[in-house]
Every structure is written in C-alpha cells, then in structure tokens.
Amino acid sequence: AQKITQTQPGMFVQEKEAVTLDCTYDTSDQSYGLFWYKQPSSGEMIFLIYQGSYDEQNATEGRYSLNFQKARKSANLVISASQLGDSAMYFCAMREGPDNYGQNFVFGPGTRLSVLP
Amino acid sequence: GAVVSQHPSRVICKSGTSVKIECRSLDFQATTMFWYRQFPKQSLMLMATSNEGSKATYEQGVEKDKFLINHASLTLSTLTVTSAHPEDSSFYICSAVRDGHTDTQYFGPGTRLTVL
C-alpha cells in the first residue's frame, strides 16, 4: 500500500491566487513527521515546511501553510499568493517514528504545479 | 547553514565503467546520510542508508555490490556505481541528517548520471 498519496499529478493556478496541494498518508506510528519539498527543474530538493504528529498548530512558513488533519491523515500544502517561481514539482514526504537517526523518508509521487501569468 | 553538496553535478560515462559520486555536509556533521534515486518524472526512491563508520543498509532490490557506499567521515559519503550500464542512468540525490537535529534531512543538489 502507498504510504504517501498525492492524487493530483498536475495542477494549474493563476498567479497571485492560492492553491492547495493534497497529501494523504498511511502509518500506524503515533510519532511521525510530515514534510513538503519543492523540486524545480534544476533538480534540487527545497525544504518548504514541516509538521510533527504531535504539533497541535498547523505549520506555517511565509506563504506556505500545512493543513494538518490528523484524523483524516491528510497534510495538504497551501500556497498563498502564487508566484511564477512556484512552478515546480512538489513532494509530500513522511518520516515514521520519533526523531531518531536512520529514519528515512517516504516520498509521495509528486504534484507538478504550473503557475499561469 | 545545513548545506549539502554533491560532486559531480553531471556525469556521462561509457558502459562498463565505474562512477563515484560524493556527498558532503559542508557546515555540519552527519552521522547518517541517505542515497536516493529518481527516474524522470518519478518520485525519489531510497536506495540505502549510510552510517559513518559502519556498513550501509540497502533497501530491498538494491544491489549492494553494484552501488558501493562508503561513509568514511562525519561529512562525507560516497556512492560508487560499479560497471555502470545504461539502465543505471538516473538522478541520484543524497541527503544528510544533521547530528543533534534529527527531525529533518538536508538534500544535496543531485547528480545526473548518463551511461552511454
């Protein structure tokens, strides 16, 4: 079974509008972490935002916010005021277990976001 | 802070040759590093976990004799693709866990390998 599901292979959004990228996850661990990364065409993975499973508040980082709904096991990324430079692949990832060494990430299939001028 | 570099960024080699890719944490120590592989338009797939001073742990289906990993210091892990073949052409990305900050990983910029 897929541990991370991103149901939107591609998304379009008009510049300056907000967009939500979906992510659902599957884990039986009580302690885990959820991440969003941006991968532009250059290939580097750019960290955007992190949500710990015990964090009660939704994470926010500038124009990025994570809509964390624990009961639904969803961790959607919201980008406000989209910019042309936001066009990229976006990956949702999960680290299962508490903060320990050797905890690898599981990545979702990604969503390609295109921002239209 | 927390910068990870990879060298080379791009390499083209002939079939049958070996290629070494370096992953360095520039401003922090990393006991643990990870190596991922990414095919075009696909997600990252974990290949192996590299721990300083010990043998790497490979994911199922990854040939350890083909993808040699050496984590000789707290700032350097190397991935050697031995006897490379065209099907090994891919984008290889490493990440490092900063000692004392184990909640996230810091990714290198990736290495694009093309085997002719």
B60-72 pLDDT, tens digit per residue, is 999 999 999 999 8
Q: Looking at A37-51, A84-98, B44-58, B95-109, which range is the least confident one? A: B95-109
Contact state of B49 with A102 under an 8 Å Cβ cutoff: yes
Exposure string for B18-48, b = 16+ CB within 10 A, e = fewer: ebebbbbbeebebbbbbbbbbeeeebbebbb
Question: Six-digit token pair at A28?
Answer: 């039986």
Which residue from A76, A69, A71 is spatially nearest to A90, judged by alpha carbons?
A76
A90-108 pLDDT, tens digit per residue, is 999 998 866 555 567 899 9
Q: In this prediction, what percent of chain A has a pLDDT beyond 90?
A: 76
A73-87 pLDDT, tens digit per residue, is 999 999 999 999 999
Distance from the Cα of A6 to chain B's closest Cα (Å) equals: 11
Contacts of B95 in chain A (CB under 8 A): 45, 105
A41 touches chain B (CB under 8 A): no
Distance from the Cα of A69 to chain B's closest Cα (Å) equals: 20
B105 touches chain A (CB under 8 A): yes
B44-53 pLDDT, tens digit per residue, is 999 999 988 8
Contact state of B95 with A43 under an 8 Å Cβ cutoff: no
The reported pLDDT for the residue numbered B102 is 66
